[in-house]
Structure 1
Amino acid sequence: MPGEMRETDSARFLHWLFVVIAIITCAATAEALGTWTFQLGPLQIVVLPLLTAFVMTAVLNIVALRTAPLFAERCQQVAGLVMGLLALLFVLRAGLVFGENLPLIIDNGSAMVFQSIGKIGTLLAFPLAMMLGMRRASIGATFSIGREPSLAIIQQRYGVGSPEMTGVLTTYVTGTVFGAIFFSIVAAVGSWLGYSTQALTMACGTGSGGMTFSCAGSLTQLRDDMDGETILALATASDVLSYVATILLGTFVAIPVLERLTRAVSQRKRLMTCEDVEEVGQAPTPPQAPVRQLPTAILSAIVVFAIVTTLTAIGQSLARAIVILAAGIGLVGVTALIRIIPRRIQRYLPLPILAAVVGILAGAPAFPWATTVSGAYSDMQLLTIASGVLACAGLAINRQQIHTMKKFGWRAVAVAFAVFAGSYFVSATLAQLAL
C-alpha cells in the first residue's frame, strides 16, 4: 500500500472489523469441522483444522484482491499486526506447557537437551533450496522445521510481506498437509537403520503435535522394548523442548548463518538483484509495527483476545467459558506488555524468546502458583491458537507471496521434506551418541 495514502477513521474501522469477522468465522468453522482424513493411494492424508482455517482465509484474501485490491491490502496489514501478537501468545502458551513438563525433560538429562540441538539439521536442506531457485525464501524455508514459533521469529525480523515469510509459510503448509505421513515413514526408516527406541522417540519432537504423535505412534507399533505410554510421554516432552530450541537456535545460530550463506552464494552466482543482496542480513523492521502505536497495539490485543476466547470456548460449558475468558485476559495482557518492549531491548532479547521464558517460569513446578496457572489454561489448546495464527497468515499473504508460492510448487515440497529429514535424523544421531 503506498505510504502516502491515508485512510479515514471509518475506513480503518471497516478494515479491522473485516479482519476480526473473517478470522473468527474461518477459524471457528475450521475447529467445528475438525480433522479430515482421506486416502491418496497407499498414503493417508490428515488435514488439521489449522490448515482448513489457512485455506479459507487465503481464498477470501485472493477474492478480495481481485474485487477490492486497496481494501484487501489494508486488511493484509491489519492481519499481519494481529498475527504477530497471536504468534507471541502461542509461544507464551507453549512455554507454559514446557514448564509443566520440565521434570520429565530433566529426568532424561543430557540426551534430551543434546538431541534438541539436532533441530539445526534443517540447514542441510539449504543447498537444495538455493539450487531450486528459492533465493531469499530459502532462509525462511530452512532455518527451522517451520512451525508457529518460526512464524513469530520471521514476522518480527523480516515482516509479513518478506520473501523469508513466504519461505517459512511453504514449509509450514507442507508440514501441515504431509508432515504426519512423512514422520511416520521416517520413524520406520530410523528403526530399520538400528537407532535405539529412546533416541528415535526423542527425535520425534518437532514442535507440531500432529507430526510428533504420528512419529511416536509409528514407533509404538514398530518397537516393543518401550511401552506406548512412555514413548508418547517422552515424545511430548521433546516436542515442547523443540519450541524453545527453535527459538534459540533459529534466532542466534540458523538465521545469521543462512544470511551469510545466502549473501555469499548470491554474490557469486548472481541469483539475486543487488537490492536483494543488500537486504539480506539487515533484518528490516516490519512496516507499521504496533509497538509504536498504542491504539493499534490495544486494537490488536482486543482482536487476539476475541479470537482465542471464541475458539477455546467452543464446546465448553458456560462456567468453563468464564474461566477461559479470565485466563484469556491475563494471557493476552502479558503478551501485549511483551509486545511494547522498546526495540533497543528487542535487539538483544527477541520477543519470542522473552515470551517463552515468561511462559516457562509461570508453568514450572517451582513457581508458587504453577498448578493454578496450568489449570486455568488447560483448555486453551496450542492447536486451537494455531488455527487463529494460520487464519491470520491466510489473510496476510500479499500478491507477491501468492505469485512466489505458485512459482515454487513442487520445489517447496521437496525442500520441506529435506528440512524434516535433516531435523529428525540429526536429532536421533545426537540422542544416540548421548545415551
Structure 2
Amino acid sequence: MNGMTTDQTVQSGPLNLLKAWRLHLWVFILTCVAEMIGSVSVPLGFATITIFPLVWGMLFGAAAGLVSTRVATPVSLRRPDVQAATIVIQAAVIMFVAKQSLLVGPLIPKLLSSGWALCFQEIGHFFGTVLLALPLALLLGIKREAIGATFSVGREQNLAIIGERYGLNSPEGRGVMAEYITGTVLGALCVSIVASCITSSGLFNPLALAMASGVGSGSMMAAAAGAVAAYAPARDTAEILGFAAASNLITTTAGTYFTLLVSLPFTVFLYRVLEPRIGRFRHGAARVTPTTAGTAVQEDGPLPFSSLVLITATVSIMTLLLGNWITYGVAPWAAMTGALCIILTGLAGEGLHRLVPLRIPSVLWVTMLGMALTAPYWPGARWFAACTQHVNFLAIVTPLLTYAGISLTRDIPAFRQLGWRIVVVSLSANAGTFIFAALIAQFFI
C-alpha cells in the first residue's frame, strides 16, 4: 500500500495529490475513451483475441505519458504527475482488493466443493513459468538471468526473494528485474491475448480458465478473467470472476512461501540440468544492464489516511461515471451505495492493518473482511452482495490501469535496455503460468 517516488519534490500528502489535477483529468478522459471503444474482437482464424477497455486504458495511458511529458502545454503531464500516478495506484488498489474479496464471499460453498481443482491448479501457476520459459531462455542464449526471469511472474515479493538470495545486481537479479518490468508493461495484454485464444477454442471449462486467471497479479488476473467472462453467458460472469479472484488470493498469499521454498530451488535445479545440454548451442548471455528504474518504489512512512480516502473517492467517481455507466449501463445513483460499501471495506481493512499490532498485510485484512461480509453464513451477506454487485469489477480496473499506463513512462528507458530476448522469455513465463494452471484445473474438473 505504501508508495514513494524518486523525485524529492513529489510527496504523498493530500495536497500534492490534489495538485496533480492534470493527472486525474487525463485519466478521466482516457478512461472515458477506452470505455466508449469497448471490447474489440480480432478474429485470427483459429481463435479470437478480445481487447478490453482495461487494456485500451493502459495503452492510452502509456502513450499519453510519453507524448504529454515531452510537449509543453498548460495541460501536459509533468514528471510529478507521473510519480503521483504510482501513489494513486498503490492506494486505490484497496478498492480492487475489496471488490475482489466481496466477489469471493458468496462463492465459498462452491469453492469448497471444487476441492482439488482449485488447490492443484496452483501448481501450474508456480511451475508453468519455468517449464515453458526456461528452455526458451537457454535456447536464446540467456544464462543465469533466466533463473530470475522464469521462476515466477516477477512481482514485488519475487523481487524481494531474489534480492535477498542473490542481490539485484546479480545475473539472477537482472533477470527478475526484466520480468518485473516486462510484466508491468505488457503482462496484462499478454495474458489477455492468451486467455482469449484459449477460451475461444472451446476446449476448456470456463471455471478451469477462471482459476488459471489468478496468476498472482491483480492487473493480469483482471485481464485474463475478463477475457474468459467475455465468452461465457452473462449469468456466469460473477462466478467466473469470483473463482478467478479466489485463485488470485491463494496465489498471492501462499505464493511467496511456495516460490521461495519450491519454485526457486526447482528452477535452479532445472537450469543446472538443461544449460549444459541446450544452452551450449548459443554462446554468451543476453546482457541486461543493471537498473533500478523498474523497482518498486518506497516512501518515508505510510500514506496518510486522508489521502487514501481522497484517492478511493476519486477512483470511485470515475468508476461510477465511466465504465459502470457507459459499458455496463448501471446509472451512477443506482450503484452509489455499493461503491460506498466497497470503499468502506477497503478503508476498514487498511485501518485494521495500522491499528492491530500484528504483522499482517493490509491486503489480507481487506480480503478477510470482504469475504466475511458476503459469506452466506450471516443475515447481512445477501444485502452486501446485492449492493456491491451493481459496481462491476472490470469498471474499477480500467481507471487503475490507465493510471498504471501513465506511471510506466518512467520505466521506458530501463525497458529499452532489456533486449528482445529477455522480453520474449518474460512473456512466455506469463503465458506459461496461465496455460499450465488451466491444464491442471481442467484435468480435475
1:143 pairs with one of 140, 148, 152: 152
The answer for the alignment partner of 1:286 in structure 2 is 297
User: Structure 1 residue 122 and structure 2 residue 128: aligned?
Assistant: yes
Distance 1:359 1:10, change over 3 A: closer
Shift of 1:260: 7.8
Q: Which moved more, 1:88-97 or 1:418-427?
A: 418-427
User: Structure 1 residue 50 and structure 2 residue 54: aligned?
Assistant: yes
Shift of 1:112: 3.2
Distance 2:286 2:409 in 1: 23
Distance 1:371 1:154 in 2: 38
The answer for the alignment partner of 2:25 in structure 1 is 21
Q: Is the 8 A contact 1:85 1:336 kept in 2?
A: no
Distance 1:346 1:168 in 2: 34
SS of residue in 2 equivalent to 1:67: coil
Distance 2:330 2:397 in 1: 24
Matches within 5 A, 1:23-422: 23-40=27-44, 43-67=47-71, 72-124=78-130, 125=132, 127=134, 131=138, 143-144=152-153, 165-169=180-184, 170-184=186-200, 188=203, 201-205=207-211, 206-207=213-214, 208=221, 211=224, 238-254=243-259, 286-288=297-299, 291-315=302-326, 320-339=331-350, 348-401=359-412, 403-404=414-415, 407-409=418-420, 412-413=423-424, 415-422=426-433
Q: Deviations over 1:65-114 (max 9, x none)?
A: 32359963211221111111232311221111111222222223333333
Q: Is the 8 A contact 2:97 2:367 kept in 1?
A: yes
Distance 2:345 2:159 in 1: 19
Distance 1:293 1:357 in 2: 23
Q: Which moved more, 1:231-240 or 1:321-330?
A: 231-240
Q: Deviations over 1:218-238 (max 9, x none)?
A: 9x9xxxxxxx99998986664
Shift of 1:303: 2.2
Q: Is the 8 A contact 2:105 2:376 kept in 1?
A: yes
Q: Deviations over 1:235-292 (max 9, x none)?
A: 6664343222222233332367677899999xx999889987xx9xxxx873337724
Distance 2:308 2:236 in 1: 42
Shift of 1:355: 2.3
Q: Which runs of 5+ in 2 are unaligned?
A: 164-176, 215-220, 276-283
Number of equivalent positions? 400
Distance 1:215 1:317 in 2: 17
Distance 1:411 1:117 in 2: 24
Counterpart code for 1:114: F
The answer for the alignment partner of 1:192 in structure 2 is none
Distance 1:154 1:84 in 2: 17
Q: Is the 8 A contact 1:338 1:354 kept in 2?
A: yes
Distance 1:11 1:379, change over 3 A: closer
Distance 1:75 1:341, change over 3 A: farther
Q: Is the 8 A contact 1:118 1:423 kept in 2?
A: yes
Shift of 1:377: 1.1
Distance 1:346 1:408 in 2: 45
Shift of 1:413: 4.8
Distance 1:342 1:325 in 2: 26
Shift of 1:217: 9.1
Distance 1:76 1:87 in 2: 17
SS of residue in 2 equivalent to 1:118: helix
User: What is the RMSD computed on CA atoms of the aligned residues?
Assistant: 4.8
Counterpart code for 1:291: P
Q: Is the 8 A contact 1:51 1:177 kept in 2?
A: no
The answer for the alignment partner of 1:191 in structure 2 is none
TM-score, normalization: structure 1? Answer: 0.72
Q: Deviations over 1:348-399 (max 9, x none)?
A: 4233333222221112111321111111111211111111221111011133
Q: Is the 8 A contact 1:31 1:49 kept in 2?
A: yes
TM-score, normalization: structure 2? Answer: 0.70
SS of residue in 2 equivalent to 1:38: strand
Q: Deviations over 1:400-421 (max 9, x none)?
A: 3454168555753554344433
Q: Is the 8 A contact 1:50 1:387 kept in 2?
A: yes
Q: Which runs of 5+ in 1 are unaligned?
A: 189-196, 221-227
Distance 1:369 1:402, change over 3 A: farther
Distance 1:352 1:295, change over 3 A: closer
Distance 1:137 1:298 in 2: 41
